[in-house]
């Protein structure tokens, strides 16, 4: 009986300990981001300062990297989700020769290491003239985001009874109208999850960014890597890292309701 009473307290203590443990790096990063870590005529090393955060917006390369990463995400979501939705509908509602094999091929493409495809993608994009551009890297990201988006949306569409489509067809609606007018509002949690995965991949991806860019289009991951050198301003690195986490935190907060439902695949 005593052990049963202590069990909730033990669970709470374990949870708090775990949260504190995984928060320690974030706490340390935040503290260092407000500290001067390189000698400067205006402030001593080790003093609290906001100079690290102001340097993010005064440095053109850091400001451009932030804008490039936001552009990758927006282009990815605007291309991937509208393309993945009809494809997911086809896999969920229409039976055709080789449908399961094609679906597995999409998934296999997603689990392929990006570095394996860098050479053919570089050659193709060189012919198209989109190397060293924001749009080119965004297209490369779409190649990996599209399969996972199709897989996610297919699960949500399959969970909705086909009778809804048939009723809409009898009322005179076309297949396109059924997808965008009836299905889309019902599978918004799935769309939110697909958009979240597009964001995550594009925001932290570094392989294509390193191969497909030389001067233009460098994202946040490349900008952070460029900050390391003979004399690394650790405070600036930590401040830029913290700033790069803000858009993700905002996205999670805005879409939290859809995401909480969306990760329960098939329960719309």
Beta-carbon contacts of 218 under 8 Å, excluding residues fewer than 6 positions away, are: 61, 64, 65, 68, 209, 226
Inform me whether the pLDDT recorded for 154 exceeds 80: yes
CATH of the domain at 249: 1.10.3720.10
CA dihedral (257, 259, 263, 267) in degrees, to 10, reads 50
pTM for this predicted structure: 0.79
Cα–Cα separations (whole angstroms), residue 100 to 21, 103, 154: 43, 5, 12
pLDDT at residue 42 greater than cutoff 50: yes
> Which range, of 27-31, 55-59, 137-141, 217-221, averages the lowest pLDDT?
217-221
Number of domains in the chain: 1
**Domain hosting residue 96, numbered range:** 60-262
Adjacent-strand bridge partners of 35? 48
Per-residue pLDDT tens over the stretch 46-88: 788 888 888 888 888 888 888 888 888 889 889 999 999 988 8
In this prediction, residue 262 carries a pLDDT of: 56
Q: Is residue 234 part of a domain?
A: yes
Q: Is residue 40 part of a domain?
A: no
Q: Is residue 145 part of a domain?
A: yes
pLDDT score of 230: 77
| 226 belongs to a structural domain | yes
The answer as to whether 125 is a domain residue is yes
267, part of any domain: no
Q: How confident is the model at residue 268 (pLDDT cuts 50, 70, 90)?
A: very low
In a domain, 34, yes or no: no
**Is residue 5 a part of any domain in this protein?**
no
């Amino acid at each position: 009986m005593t052990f049963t009473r202590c069990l909730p307290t033990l669970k709470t203590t374990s949870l708090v300990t775990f949260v504190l443990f995984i928060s320690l790096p974030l706490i340390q990063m935040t503290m260092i981001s407000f500290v001067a870590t390189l000698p400067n005529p205006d402030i001593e090393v080790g003093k609290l300062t906001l100079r690290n955060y102001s340097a993010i917006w005064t440095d053109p390369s850091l400001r451009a990297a932030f804008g490039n990463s936001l552009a990758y995400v927006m282009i990815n979501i605007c291309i991937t989700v509208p393309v993945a939705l009809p494809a997911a509908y086809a896999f969920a509602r229409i039976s055709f020769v080789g449908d399961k094999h094609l679906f597995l091929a999409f998934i296999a493409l997603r689990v392929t290491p990006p570095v394996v495809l860098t050479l053919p993608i570089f050659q193709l994009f060189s012919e198209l003239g989109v190397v060293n551009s924001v749009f080119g890297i965004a297209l490369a990201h779409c190649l990996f985001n599209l399969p996972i988006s199709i897989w996610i949306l297919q699960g949500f569409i399959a969970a909705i009874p086909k009778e809804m489509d048939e009723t809409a067809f009898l009322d005179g609606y076309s297949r396109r109208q059924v997808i965008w007018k009836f299905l889309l509002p019902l599978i918004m949690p799935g769309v939110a999850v697909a958009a979240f995965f597009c964001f995550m991949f594009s925001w932290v991806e570094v392989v294509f960014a390193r191969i497909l860019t030389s001067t233009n289009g460098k994202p946040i991951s490349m900008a952070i890597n460029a900050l390391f050198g003979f004399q690394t301003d650790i405070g600036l690195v930590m401040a830029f890292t913290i700033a790069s986490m803000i858009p993700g935190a905002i996205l999670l907060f805005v879409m939290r309701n859809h995401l909480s439902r969306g990760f329960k695949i098939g329960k719309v």
